[in-house]
Amino acid sequence: MGIRAAVVCLRPVTAPVAALVTALVMTGCASARDPSVAATAQRFLSAAGDGRGGAACRLLAPEAARSLDDCEKDIVSIGLRAGTIRGVEVWGNEARVRVDGDTLFLHRFPDGWRVRAAGCRPRPDQPYECEVRT
C-alpha cells in the first residue's frame, strides 16, 4: 500500500516535468534551426568586414549601436570579419553564434534578429569580453 501511494504521488509531478522538458527541448531545437539567426550574423560580419558601417549598424540592437561613439566608423575599425559558422544556439529570444575567431550574441526583436554583442572572446571563469556590447 505504501509503494502504490508513492507511485501515485510521483505521476502528477513526473508527467508535467517530462512534458516541460520535452517542450523546452523541442523549442530549442526548432529555434536553433531558424536560418535567420545565422544569416543575420553573417550579414552583419560581412558588412562590417567590407567597410559598410551603415549596413552593419542597422543590424545592431539599438543599445549596442549607441554604445559606439560613431557607429559607422567604429564598427568597421574593430576588424570584424565574416567566417564559417561553427555553431548556433538559441534560447527563446536570445542566441549565440560562433564563427571563426568570433562569437556574437543576438536578440530577437519584433522586426527580426539584431546583434547585441560582437567581437566576443571567451575568458576562463568569466563572462565573454566583447568589442561591441549592450
The answer to whether the beta carbons of residues 104 and 91 sit under 8 Å apart is: no
For residue 91, which phi and psi values (nearest 5 degrees)?
-130, 95
Strand partners, 25: none
Domain range 35-132, CATH class = alpha beta
> Taking the domains of the chain in order of start, what are their residue ranges?
1-33, 35-132
Q: Tell me the whole-structure pTM to 2 decimals.
A: 0.74
- How does pLDDT run along the chain (134 residues), one tens digit per residue? 444 333 333 333 333 333 333 333 344 443 456 789 999 999 999 999 999 999 999 999 999 999 999 999 999 999 999 999 999 999 999 999 999 989 999 999 999 999 999 999 999 999 999 999 88
Query: Distance between CA 85 and CA 27 in Å, rounded?
Result: 21
Other beta carbons less than 10 A from residue 32's beta carbon: 15
